[in-house]
Structure 1
Amino acid sequence: MSSLISGIKGTTQSLTALRRPWRDFFDISTVDLPSSTSDATTRIAQNLTHFRLNYTLILLLILFLSLIYHPLSLLTFLVILLAWFFLYFARDREEPVVIFGFFIDDRIVIAALFGLTVAGLVLTGVWVNVLVALAVGVGFVILHAGLRSTDDLVMDDLESPYGNVLSGGDDELDSPRGDYSGI
């Protein structure tokens, strides 16, 4: 039981560390129209990477609000969310999932949780509400990510959606060119 509580505590702390301050997220001075389609896609990729937990929380809030008048569906959603948390997010990736003595692969866990999620939505009859809520949420996320300038974002190479390609490191082994030298 103490390992479960420490696992939940560790996961919560790591997720909290990923969340960016809401004042940075909603900073109105950073809103600017992108100059081109390329600029918009770059902004979307960088903002989705930088604010991923903030965007996830907004999507979950919109989904929660869409289910507020459907208590059975809301309860089902919370149970499925707990299943996702305990079976996928809160567990150590080094340890396999063991159910009835069988080792279960991560892909099977994800497929089973996805199937459980879809079945829960269909059986409670709110799948249309959820699809509309997700469409509204994704629309908001894409709109925010495209309009928010990335000039003030500080991202390291591990966080960048482009990897260390954009870095100007002096170490040749970490270079995107590998260990080749110029002629």
Structure 2
Amino acid sequence: MSTAVPPVIPVSSVQSVESQPPAASPAFLSFVSRLNESLRNGLSQRRPWAELVDRSAFSKPESFSDALVRVRKNYSYFRVNYLSVIGLILAFSLLSHPFSLLLLLGLLCSWIFLYLFRPADQPLVLFGRAFSDRETLGFLIIFSVFVVFLTTVGSLLISALMVGVGLVCAHGAFRALRISSWTNKNKYPPVSCPF
């Protein structure tokens, strides 16, 4: 019997290279930078909370048109504070319903990883099939419609927004306008209001 020599298996030695953490993509860094700048700019325009809840400034409006004028002016003046209140109501609503919060986080993550921060030159490949940008966008839109409208997430968000907008409108309608505070403190031009 002849002895067969087993074939030689090529072996390569792995050089020990210190692994470095993956660098964040420029698109992600730009997004975070713009988000940080926008938040700082927006929060710098908020009014003092003590002025917002000053009980001596509340009075009953004389008419419905007076209430609408008050809502418009107060929205222009307390815009950032009102948006913060609505955001807190939405956050409380989502934290009290963790399943809806998880669904929204999953939806947000799918948009971020599958569409926003995916390199443009690389198609999405799932289960051996490459998906174009149009197919990915279509899937994400259908998934978003499903999550928002066919689960309890949509009704939760709409009800929280309605409570927040109702609270803001009630505050704006019953808070009297002070002309001196408008002329001295209003360094930002009033914005149009959809009311």
Aligned length: 139
Name the SS for the 2:99 alignment partner.
helix
User: 2:190 maps to which residue?
Assistant: 159
- Once the two structures are superposed, residues 62-117 of structure 1 have per-residue CA deviations (whole angstroms, 9 ceiling, x without a partner) of 12222223223213445767999xxxxxxxxxxxxxx948xxxxxxxxxxx99876
SS of residue in 2 equivalent to 1:34 = coil
TM-score when scaled to structure 1? 0.59
1:160–1:63 Cα change, 3 Å: closer
> Considering only aligned residues, what root-mean-square deviation do their CA atoms show, in Å?
3.5
Q: Which residue of 1 aligns with 2:94?
A: 67
Q: CA deviation at 1:144?
A: 0.3
Could you tell me which residue of structure 1 aligns to residue 20 of structure 2?
none
Compared with structure 1, are the counterparts of its residues 115 and 37 closer, same or farther at alpha carbon in structure 2 (3 Å cutoff)?
farther
Deviations 1:142-176 (A, max 9, x none): 100000112133435722549xxxxxxxxxxxxxx
Q: Contact 1:47–1:150 (CA<8 Å) still a contact in 2?
A: yes
Q: Distance in 2 between matches of 1:4 and 1:67?
A: 25
**Structure 2 residue runs without a partner (length 5+):** 1-25, 112-118, 122-139
Which residue type is aligned with residue 54 of structure 1?
Answer: N
In the other structure, the counterpart of 1:94 is none
Matches of 2:51 and 2:66, distance apart in 1: 20
* Residues 75 and 82 in structure 2, CA contact (< 8 A), matched pair in contact too: yes
1:47 match: 74
The answer to whether 1:22 aligns with 2:49 is: yes
Offset at 1:12? 1.8
Relative to structure 1, is the Cα distance of residues 6 and 131 closer, same or farther in structure 2, using a 3 angstrom cutoff? closer
Aligned to 1:127: 154
| Partner Cα distance (1:56, 1:35) in 2 | 26
- Cα shift at 1:46: 0.7
CA contact (8 A) 1:43 1:148 kept: yes
- Larger CA Rg, structure 1 vs 2: 2
Q: How does 1:74-113 map to 2 (within 5 A)?
A: 74-77=101-104, 100=120
Return the letter of the residue paired with 2:84. Answer: L
One-letter amino acid matched to 1:6: S
Please give the alpha-carbon distance, in whole angstroms, between the structure 1 residues aligned to 2:165 and 2:96: 22
Measure the CA separation in 2 of the matches of 1:83 and 1:42.
Answer: 42
Give aligned-pair identity as a percent.
34
Aligned to 1:144: 171
CA contact (8 A) 1:46 1:161 kept: no
Question: 2:109, 2:74 → 1: CA distance?
Answer: 27
**What amino acid sits opposite 2:190 in the alignment?**
E
Residue 80 of structure 2 aligns with an amino acid whose one-letter code is: L
2:64 pairs, out of 32, 37, 40, with 37
Cα 1:157–1:8, aligned 2, differ >3 Å: closer, same or farther? closer
**1:56 paired residue among 80, 83, 107:** 83
2:40 matches 1:13: yes
Deviation for aligned residue 1:45: 0.5
Instruction: Give secondary structure in 2 for the equivalent of 1:67.
Output: helix
